[in-house]
Amino acid sequence: MMTSDELQVRLAELAASTLVPGAAVAILRGEETVSAVTGVANMNTGAPVVANTLFASGSICKVFTASLIMTLVDDGLVELDAPVQRYLPDFTLADPVKSAAVTVRMLLSHTSGLPRNFFPDDPAGPDVIEKFMQRLKAVPFPGTPGKQWSYSNPGMVTLGRIAEVLTKQTYDDALDQRILRPLGLNATTYPDRMIMGSTAVGHLVDPATGDVTPAPLFRKWFGNAPAGSTLWLDVAALIGFARMHLDGGLGPDGHRVLSEESVAAMQTPLADIWGFLYPRWGLGWGIADVGDRRLVAHAGGNIGMQSTLWVIPDQHAAVAVLTNSGTGFGLNSTLAAEILEREFGLELPAPPSPPDAPESVDPSLYVGRYGSVEGDLVVTCDANGSLYVQVEPEASQVDAGRLMGGPTEPSRFPMTCVDAERSRFLVAAGPEGSPLASMPMEFYEADSAGCPRVANLLFLAERVG
């Protein structure tokens, strides 16, 4: 296995080339762990990244939330195929019929049809998740429960609310007492604990100048806590969490946190995904099979932070990377891929790329406006029959885009059909080599004339015109 010195040299090289002020990486193989850090936790203070520096987990927290729910399954308090309304009788979005059909399993596997994002900005407090759920009642329900995979932050928040109701605790307390403390992790959602040690802040990079500055905010969107807005941890905590899933649900002292059955269920594929980083999804985990070898994984982002975690069960191994820059995705993906190939002989599948000869489609089937709580997708056609999609983000999405690297203004991109039968396209939403260079876009639920009702590019949107 790589030495700490070798790992530190490569981490520092990548941090410099990707404009990342500070980062931490750890590799677990068997019972051996190797780790390294580089850079600063905060450019304002110059405080260095150290072994126990806390970074934002981002959406890796979703696997923590899924694990929390599975402790309730183990305790007989939750049934995966029960409707959400069994536990939250007032759960609904703007479509009550669809809402009644959503199950716990659908939320865990991102097959509920709920929107990708919803960003109410209530202040932190013990009832902030309850307030989120009340506001969700007015939100359109774009997908169809159980029909297709579509990543959903509100789905994870709903799971967090289930945990609150059944444990009679806040989400923060339930997560702390059922997952974080039993595993002895240096991880917390409590701000008073964060300030007691080394804690990284996010940094933003100006795409025009390359200037790197600390983000204007430390945390935001507290109602999205179960989806990943408030959990901070160090790289050893990510490895410790992965170890529990590798050890069949046992903590470091032999205490059982999850049943073996729940650990296995979380790593069992439930949904196939086209064009995404992970080709399949289980209960909380993304899943990628390389040959006959299974990897489970999740990545995350928060305000000026990026994270990634890969777990290799047949090697009792894991790779974790944490960065404090909005450009950290490049470092995380490059370093993790290098480690997986060098140390474990695993070459990750390449993302889809446009074919030399795009498939032909009737553009009139797709032209139109597709709306959602996150904004609109407007599909147009030029005189040559080429399709384009314009992303028009809603105001809260613009705010999120400024802090997390999403769209901040209407942007028009070319579409290339790669599978006419399944209405699958690739959208050139960024420069070649970037994660936005070939964004997957799909259309679903065609009517008798072949016109789809739903479009999916970053978020689900229903045809409105």
Given a contact cutoff of 8 angstroms between Cβ atoms, the answer to whether 259 and 74 are in contact is yes
Please check whether residue 90 is in contact with residue 130, taking contact to mean a CB–CB distance below 8 angstroms: no
Tokens of 12: 């520092």
Domain boundaries, the chain: 1-349, 363-463
Q: What share of the chain has pLDDT > 70, as a percent?
A: 98
Identify the pLDDT of residue 354: 87
Pairing of the two strands 286-290 and 280-281: antiparallel
Question: Would you say residue 433 has pLDDT above 70?
Answer: no
Cβ neighbours around 229 below 10 Å, total:
23
Alpha helices in 91-225 (DSSP H): 96-101, 104-109, 128-136, 153-167, 171-175, 191-194
The 8 Å CB, 24+ separation contacts for 213-218 are 213/43, 214/42, 214/43, 214/44, 214/304, 215/303, 215/304, 215/403, 216/403, 217/303, 217/403, 218/303
Residue 352 CA to residue 346 CA, distance in Å, equals 18
Q: CATH says 363-463 is which class?
A: mainly beta
* Cβ count near 4 (within 10 Å): 16
pLDDT, tens digit, 9 for 90 and up, residues 327-361: 999 999 999 999 999 999 999 988 888 888 899 99
Whether the per-residue pLDDT at 324 is higher than 70: the answer is yes
Mean pLDDT score of the chain? 96
Cα–Cα distances in Å, from 320 out to 26, 219, 298, 385?
5, 22, 10, 45
Tens of pLDDT, residues 252-304: 999 999 999 999 999 999 999 999 889 999 999 999 999 999 999 999 999 99
CATH 3.40.710.10 fits 1-349, yes or no: yes
Type of residue numbered 451: C
**Weakest-pLDDT range from 43-52, 136-145, 301-310, 433-442:** 433-442
The reported pLDDT for the residue numbered 52 is 98
* pTM exceeding the 0.85 threshold for the entire prediction: yes
What per-residue confidence (pLDDT) applies to 126? 97
Q: Which residues are catalytic?
A: 59
Q: For 122-149, what is each residue's pLDDT tens digit?
A: 999 999 999 999 999 999 999 999 999 9
Tens-digit pLDDT profile for residues 391-401: 998 887 777 87
pLDDT category at 211 given cuts 50, 70, 90 is: very high
> What's the rounded Cα separation, in Å, for the pair 425 and 414?
10
